[in-house]
Structure 1
Amino acid sequence: MSRGYLLGLDGGSSSTKAVIFDTDGNVVGIGREASRLEHPQAHWVERDMNATWASAAQAIRAALAAANVDGSEIVAIGVTAHGDGLYPLDRKGEPLGQAITSLDSRAAGIVERWCREGVRDEALARIGQMPFAFSPVTLLAWMQEHQPERLSALGHVLTCKDWLRFKLTGEVATDFTEASTGYTDVNTQRYSREALSMLGIDSVFDTLPAVRMPDEIAGHVSMAAARATGLKAGTPVAAGLHDVTASAVGLGNVESDTLTIAAGTFSINEVFSDAPKPDSRWATRNGLRPGQWLNMAISPASSSNLEWFHRQWGRAGDGDTGAFFAEMEASLDAAFQSPSRLVYHPFLYGSPYDEPASAGLFGLQGWHDRGHVLRAILEGVVFNHRVHVDALASTFPIDRVRITGGGSHSPRLAQLFSDSLGRPLETSRIQEAAAWGAAICAGVAAEVFPAIASATPLCEIDHRYTPEARRQAECQRGFERYQRLVECLRPLWATLDADAPPLASPAVEPQPSPTAGAAR
């Protein structure tokens, strides 16, 4: 292998990580910088695009310093970031207002209208997915309806990853995985003008960026980016990929029959297939190459609930969320030994259901303490993952499960996943899976690795968890309570929604199975 280092840049919803790896997959330096989310009104979640780039540049500098590595020693860079949302550019390559993140749900009304008109069913057949409120195509339809002057000034539609790569290289492009966020025909895996026309946004076809393969060089670090980051001008930058797909690559799950769970801001559950099998319960998007598809069942309802709990009930001096939960271990021990039957629905930012679901804590009594509440939140997050995993398992054979993100390296949480899913589960020695997935793409682009699959042996397993019979039975009973409460509350969610008039009826009739992931 070539000497030197690979850099994986991972743009999250509220922060950016730059991770430097050696060519054996070992982390040698990490930089992390926050990027503030803004909530100008209910259901809007935005961020300043220039501030997002500035945080990425600072994260790269911090990673270089932490690794004691000079920018000239970086062989290649791969970029990944949160998917969906919208990072619009004008025709001069400048931000066209604020970025709209994937936690935003302003366009829920567009989705409801498409559902009433039958467009979502047609979309499932044509583009392999029912657009979410946070899908780029849905946000573009919202922009056309509510901000037509902004849409008319649109030069390019990008995602977060594409924006960061544009700032690194000055080249406008997307990759094969993120081209399929609603713009492509599910069978041809290519841009489809007919698909955009079906959604009423055919005017944006000419703003779609050129498509590169994830492991293809999409540009080189510019002089301006070199000054901002400490990288060497001319360093190759791979096209990269959506962080959902990057996590699978970083865990070594690059073929069919392997399930990847990423417990991050979103509940992400995904499996590759060699044929498209669209279903309302998941989105069928492009895989790593033509002829491969990624089936992703997601909802914005995972570890963001733990971060919210920490913000609301943490105490001064708790440290970050990870340190806070480490301090809570004794309380959790007692809570898991108790007869508590608290149920938590983790729908702070969205759910797998069409209705405007809200989070809820049920069964609370005076003897419960923080430990019991945190136990319920952990179980609720895991049960929401199970809803998605059960859906995928109904169609796709699953021989192996690997998990990353959201404290999944905590033995308690990993075991809870195994017990709740009723499946053996593996964790990898590589904890920065999405950044490593992006770095692998960079390594292929720079000829460090001959192909993506050739790097998967580096993704070694560090622990394997198997279901414990007693706990599995307890989790099954808890999951059944969780599901019963979901079905009882679905007709009532609309009356609790901030945008609904008093005593409003649900805009969509309850369905017996979840959709791929609805946001509020």
Structure 2
Amino acid sequence: MAGKAYLGIDAGTSVVKAAIFDENGDALAVQGRSIPLMHERAGVRGAVEQDFEVILATLSAVVSDAIREAGQTPESVALTGQGDGCWITDEKFHPVRPAMSWLDGRAGSLVDEWAKSGVLQEVYGISGGSMFPGAPAACLKWLDLNEPETLDRAATAGYCKDAIFGRLTGVRATDPSDASMPFGDGTGMGYSDRVLELTGLTDRRSLLAPIVAPVPVADLHAEGAALLGLPVGTPVSSGPFDFPACGFGSGIGFPGTEGDALLIVGTTLGCLVHRDELVNTGDAAGFSVSTGKSGQWLRAMPAMVGTASLDWVLRILGIEVSAVEGLLGTSPPGANGLNVLPYLATSGERAPFVDPLAAGSISGMRLTTNRDDIVRAVCEGLAYTARHCFESAGQSGRIVVTGGGSKSSNWMQVFADVLETPLVLARTPEVGARGAVLAGAEARGEELDVEQWTSPEGVVEPNDANRALYDAGFAHQMELLEAARPLWHTRAALATQGDKK
């Protein structure tokens, strides 16, 4: 007889995935389908939105595909998904408007005003979290100023996974991971009246869903059962969101892992460290994500752009992704003097610093520079960014790595060399869905063997021969960053003058 099966669903930014695991954490099935982003709909500059109904339809299809592949009906459902943004729904969890993605840049000027007035620093001192244009508070305030009638019709301004959870179960709730940023009160379990006051959102407090720790759990209702093709009453859990879910799925965030870190080489470059204290001093950058356990935090530094920077370069140069491994082998460490600042997101950067005007650049180019050097310089630039993030987040233990970029052995060698520490390869597939299943099982009181579920698949050792080169390279990268920062604002001022003309 087949043992128990567990369904994990990850509603990401560009792909919705469903994975079914057995009791040992082995994948019985994995299915995924892409979902679209709507850029500058109706000509609104900086707008990046998503259609919630399209996500639900895609979710239904991938779950059906996964159940068919596994040949087994799962006994529980665990949800995770993209964080941040703003998902506006009515009392029955139907969208009131398209969701504002975390990539949305419309609130850039608002965040800039908050930075200049000291709001960002004070919020950071309360919650340990910074804000950027796609953060929930910024998106919600933008709507409050520009579409107040939309919020008047809404019941909840929440997060992707929670909107799905509501649609599947009829229960309005969020988990501590999403709730702790940016409205958190520093306990990991509540909202801050002062943060709502600082952001001018006190009158919109009713739109924030109740917080349930460690994660919300409810039964699948009739509509949800029809959507997923599962029996009514199947338990469903919601959370944590994808970043901390990947932490749990790789073995980070559990007792005894303080100081350990996770590196996600995905669309974004995610750097996360398990801390036993709230970090809310110093520069207002990064996020302190509650684990749902008292005094336990995940210090997150999610840089806006990861593999998306590499994808951009490959598209510009007309190179296939499959060629990257070889190109990294032909250009030497240091990329023949080429350096790349990989801040290419339209909404700027959020970690390890916050600047809505941050932009990428390439320096050190000569007539002898070739495409191999450019590709390697982008990969090294992202590795330098990871080092910057981990130094800011207080990493002191092992680093586990996952994400699409982790499939490139040569790129993982670059990361190991720049970070100067062994990289532990997380158990695959679907680390985020795996973490959501573990969190859901714990919330239901079901014991799964965490060590077995998160056993690593290998280790990439750093090459000590490259240590001096990459130490100097990182120092130079930081010099380039400091030199570029004032220029971003000069460029923005010139662009504004051009618009006026």
TM-score, normalisation: structure 1: 0.88
What is the Cα deviation at residue 463 of structure 1? 1.5
Structure 1 match to 2:191: 191
User: Given that residues 259 and 273 in structure 2 are in contact (C-alpha distance below 8 angstroms), is that contact kept between their aligned partners in structure 1?
Assistant: yes
Return the alpha-carbon distance in structure 2 between the equivalents of residues 376 and 339 of structure 1: 5
2:278 to 276, 284, 305: 276
Change beyond 3 A, Cα 1:339–1:411: closer
Alignment of 1:94-113 (within 5 A): 94-113=94-113
Q: Per the alignment, in what secondary structure is the counterpart of residue 7 of structure 1?
A: strand
Correspondences of 1:451-462 after superposition (within 5 Å): 454-462=449-457
Q: Report the residue type matching 1:380 in the other structure.
A: G
Match of 1:290? 294
Shift of 1:443: 2.7
Q: Paired residue for 1:484?
A: 479
Deviation at 1:98, TM superposition (A): 0.8
Structure 1: runs of 5 or more not aligned: 316-323, 505-520
CA displacement 1:461-513 (0-9 Å, x = unmatched): 22222221222222223223322221221111124349941489xxxxxxxxx
Give matches, 1:307-346, under 5 Å. 307-314=311-318, 324-336=320-332, 340-346=336-342
Whether the 8 Å CA contact 1:76–1:446 is kept in 2: the answer is no
Distance (Å, rounded) in 2 between the aligned partners of 1:339 and 1:379: 8
Who is 2:238 aligned against?
Answer: 239
Per the TM alignment, residue 51 of structure 1 is displaced from its structure 2 partner at its CA by: 0.8
**Residues 1:473 and 2:459 are matched in the alignment:** no
Classify the secondary structure of the residue corresponding to 1:340: helix
Distance 2:339 2:450 in 1: 41
Provide the rounded CA distance (Å) in 1 between the counterparts of 2:182 and 2:101. 16
**Letter paired with 1:344:** V
Identity rate, percent: 27
Structure 2 SS opposite 1:225: helix
Change (3 A) 1:228 1:414: same
Residue 384 of structure 1: how far off its partner (Å) = 1.1
Partner residue, 1:423: 421
Q: Is the 8 A contact 1:176 1:212 kept in 2?
A: yes
Counterparts in 2 of 1:306 and 1:170: CA distance versus 1, 3 Å? farther
Distance 2:209 2:240 in 1: 14
Q: What residue number does 2:375 align with? A: 374
Shift of 1:33: 1.0
Paired position in structure 2 for 1:230: 229
Q: Is the 8 A contact 1:213 1:239 kept in 2?
A: no
Q: Are the aligned partners of 2:417 and 2:462 in contact in 1 as well (CA < 8 Å)?
A: yes
1:52 match:
55
Tell me, in whole angstroms, the C-alpha distance in 2 between the residues paired with 1:373 and 1:221: 50
Looking at structure 1, the residues matched to 295 and 472 of structure 2 have their Cα atoms a distance apart, in angstroms, of: 40
Query: Equivalents in 1 of 2:244, 2:71: separation in Å?
Result: 30
Q: How does 1:346-365 map to 2 (within 5 A)?
A: 346-349=342-345, 350-351=348-349, 352=351, 353-355=353-355, 356-365=357-366
After superposition, the C-alpha distances for 1:220-268 in whole angstroms (9 at most, x for unaligned) are 2233333333223321101221111111100111231211111222222
Unpaired stretches in structure 2, ≥5 consecutive residues: none
Report the more deviating stretch, 235-244 or 332-341: 332-341
Relative to structure 1, the CA distance from residue 249 to residue 337 in structure 2 (aligned partners, 3 Å threshold; closer, same or farther) is closer
> 2-side partners of 1:79 and 1:129: how far apart?
23
8 Å CA contact 2:39–2:46 kept in 1: the answer is yes
Give the secondary-structure state (helix, strand or coil) at the position aligned to 1:269.
Answer: strand
RMSD over aligned Cα, in angstroms?
2.4
Could you tell me the TM-score, scaled by structure 2's length? Answer: 0.91
Residue aligning to 1:507: none
From the superposition, tell whether residues 31 and 300 of structure 1 become closer, same or farther in structure 2 (CA, over 3 Å). same
Q: Match of 2:17, SS?
A: strand
Residue aligned with 2:336, SS:
coil
3-state SS of 2:131 partner: coil
> What CA distance in whole angstroms lies between the structure 1 residues aligned with 2:414 and 2:402?
14
Q: Which has the higher helix share?
A: 2
Amino acid at match of 2:341: H
How has the CA–CA distance of structure 1 residues 252 and 499 changed in structure 2, closer, same or farther, with 3 Å as cutoff? Answer: farther
Maintained 8 Å contact 1:358/1:497: no
Distance 1:53 1:95 in 2: 11
Higher relative contact order (CA closer than 8 Å, sequence separation 6+): 1
The C-alpha deviation readout for 1:300-320, integer Å capped at 9, x for no partner, is 1212212333444446xxxxx
